[in-house]
């Protein structure tokens, strides 16, 4: 199929990340630091049928890969039914879920049954106490239990998202990397991106070269060759380890020139760049009865307005929205 979603810089946009809710059962310190959590009114959140219509239009234009995220996607009722309907959109070759894992265990059998295999689970620490400090909720055992069950059931790849937090989990990054010696997990270290009003002590993010050198203090890392559907992580593994290590250096070594993403926010806006506040309203047209071609036109405009690169390293204002509402 031909991809019509090609931007001004010749990037082919085939990946849609969908935030299905802004609601979350955790309050992670990096997600919307220093901001009151503003909940979107229920009626402004896209209904599943509305999202499915937009995905079908996107798929006809060239979207082949979809990630469902949030907020916390599993707090929204009917998430698995929605995922099942996504699996019936024939152009979609890759459907995955990003979750904090708190509610995951009970949903695993259904997810497996409908054919979802790729999971990204956020877990920034191996310490139950620190987990509570980072997320506000004492749910470490539940999350780690879900990860074990998912591995036993054969979900793969299971990616563990770890945001590297100066002064909080920086002393256990090597320990988290050691998990890959025992489990086939992909542990991905993510540079903290500036969202909300970050407290001054966390304003200097821990950058990938520093994170990497802490991990290489355990053992040498060997690069893993890239695959066609790879995301922005630079992939490595320790010799003979079943798992992998990844680095997502959105701040220090941006990967904008390979960016193939568009985001659909929970309240129905197409967001061309995670790190820019610019977005296009597609919900109003959708709810006013617009034809598929009109909605397709909004997809094309969103792609056409994708910036060449984000402005984090050139002094531009960081995004003001809440990560939870955008989807990460
Ligand atoms: N609730 C789900 C979860 O926790 O995975 C999905 C939503 S969450 C916003 C998606 C991802 O964004 C998570 O892996 C989270 O760690 C990451 N994230 C949130 N705020 C971030 C920040 N300021 N910098 C880097 N990553 C961030």
Q: Which atom of ligand 1 is nearest to the CA of 124?
A: 16
Please give all residues whose beta carbon lies within 6 A of any atom in ligand 1, as ranges.
24, 30-31, 69-70, 72, 98-100, 122, 161, 163, 190, 192-193, 195, 323-324, 328
Residue recorded with tokens 């034809």? 291
3-state SS class at 15: strand
**Dihedral sign (CA 287, 291, 294, 296):** positive
**What is the rounded CA–CA span in Å between residue 116 and residue 130?**
30
φ, ψ for residue 19 (rounded to 5)? Answer: -90, 115
Quickly count: other Cβ atoms within 10 Å of residue 56's Cβ.
Answer: 20
The reported pTM is 0.93
Whole-number pLDDT of residue 311: 65
Strand order in the sheet with 94-99: 221-223, 234-238, 244-248, 186-191, 158-164, 118-122, 94-99, 65-69, 15-19, 261-264, 269-271, 280-281
* Helix orientation angle between 292-304 and 48-61, rounded to the nearest 10 degrees: 70
**Which residue, judged by its Cα, is nearest atom 13 of ligand 1?**
122
3-state SS class at 281: strand
**Which residue, judged by its Cα, is nearest atom 21 of ligand 1?**
31
Whole-number pLDDT of residue 90: 97
Query: What distance in angstroms lies between residue 196's CA and the mean position of ligand 1's atoms?
Result: 13
Which pLDDT tens digit goes with each residue over 165-193? 999 999 999 999 999 999 999 999 999 98
Chain mean position to CA 322: 13
Chain mean position to CA 30: 14
**What is the rounded CA–CA span in Å between residue 165 and residue 199?**
12
Q: Are 61 and 7 in contact (CB under 8 A)?
A: no
pLDDT exceeding 90 applies to what percent of the chain? 79
Residue 266 pLDDT > 60, yes or no?
A: yes
Kindly give, in sequence order, each residue whose CB lies less than 8 Å from that of residue 74, ignoring residues fewer than 6 positions away. 99, 102, 103, 104, 107
Query: What distance in angstroms lies between residue 208's CA and the mean position of ligand 1's atoms?
Result: 17
Element housing 59 (H / E): helix 48-61
φ, ψ for residue 139 (rounded to 5)? Answer: -120, 15
Query: What are the CA-CA distances from residue 126 to residues 100, 215, 250, 281 (Å)?
Result: 14, 15, 24, 40
3-state SS class at 186: strand
With the most atoms of ligand 1 within 8 angstroms of its CB, the residue from 31, 37, 74, 192 to mutate is 31
| Total residues found in the chain within this entry | 328
Which pLDDT tens digit goes with each residue over 13-43? 999 999 999 999 999 999 877 667 789 999 9
Nearest to 324 by CA among 24, 63, 10, 17: 24
Banded pLDDT at 138 (limits 50, 70, 90): very high
3-state SS class at 194: coil
Q: Are 14 and 260 in contact (CB under 8 A)?
A: yes
Whole-number pLDDT of residue 3: 80
- Phi/psi region, residue 310 (left: phi>0; alpha: psi -120 to 50; beta: rest), is beta
User: Which domains are seen in the chain, by residue range?
Assistant: 15-326 (3.20.20.70)
Which pLDDT tens digit goes with each residue over 277-318? 899 999 999 999 999 999 999 999 999 999 988 766 555 555
Nearest to 208 by CA among 193, 230, 229: 193
Mean pLDDT of 92-99: 97
Structure tokens that stand for 227 in this block: 């695959």
- Taking each continuous run of H as one helix and of E as one strand, the counts in the chain are 10, 12
């Amino acid at each position: 199929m031909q991809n019509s979603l090609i931007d001004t810089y010749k990037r082919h946009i085939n990946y849609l990340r969908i935030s299905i809710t802004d609601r979350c059962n955790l309050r992670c310190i990096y997600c919307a630091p220093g901001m009151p959590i503003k909940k979107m009114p229920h009626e402004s959140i896209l209904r599943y049928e509305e999202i499915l219509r937009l995905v079908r239009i996107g798929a006809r234009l060239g979207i082949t890969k979809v990630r469902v995220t949030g907020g916390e996607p599993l707090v929204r009722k009917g998430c698995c039914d929605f995922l099942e309907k996504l699996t019936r959109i024939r152009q979609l070759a890759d459907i995955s879920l990003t979750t904090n894992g708190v509610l995951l265990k009970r949903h695993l059998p259904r997810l497996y049954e409908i054919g979802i295999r790729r999971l990204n689970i956020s877990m920034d620490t191996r310490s139950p106490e620190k987990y509570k400090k980072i997320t506000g909720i004492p749910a470490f055992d539940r999350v780690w239990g879900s990860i074990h069950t998912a591995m036993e059931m054969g979900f793969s790849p299971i990616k563990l998202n770890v945001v590297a937090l100066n002064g909080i989990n920086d002393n256990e990054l090597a320990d988290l990397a050691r998990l890959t010696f025992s489990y086939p997990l992909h542990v991905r270290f993510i540079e903290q991106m500036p969202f909300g009003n970050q407290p001054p002590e966390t304003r200097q993010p821990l950058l990938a070269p520093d994170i990497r050198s802490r991990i290489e203090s355990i053992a040498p890392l060997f690069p893993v060759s890239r695959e066609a559907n790879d995301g922005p992580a630079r992939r490595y593994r320790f010799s003979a380890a079943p798992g992998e290590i990844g680095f997502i250096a959105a701040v220090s070594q941006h990967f904008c020139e390979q960016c193939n993403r568009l985001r659909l926010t929970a309240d129905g806006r197409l967001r061309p760049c995670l790190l820019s506040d610019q977005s296009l309203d597609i919900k109003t047209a959708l709810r006013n009865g617009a034809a598929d071609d009109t909605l397709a036109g909004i997809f094309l405009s969103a792609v056409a307005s994708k910036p060449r690169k984000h402005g984090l390293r050139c002094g531009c204002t960081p995004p003001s929205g809440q990560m939870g509402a955008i989807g990460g």
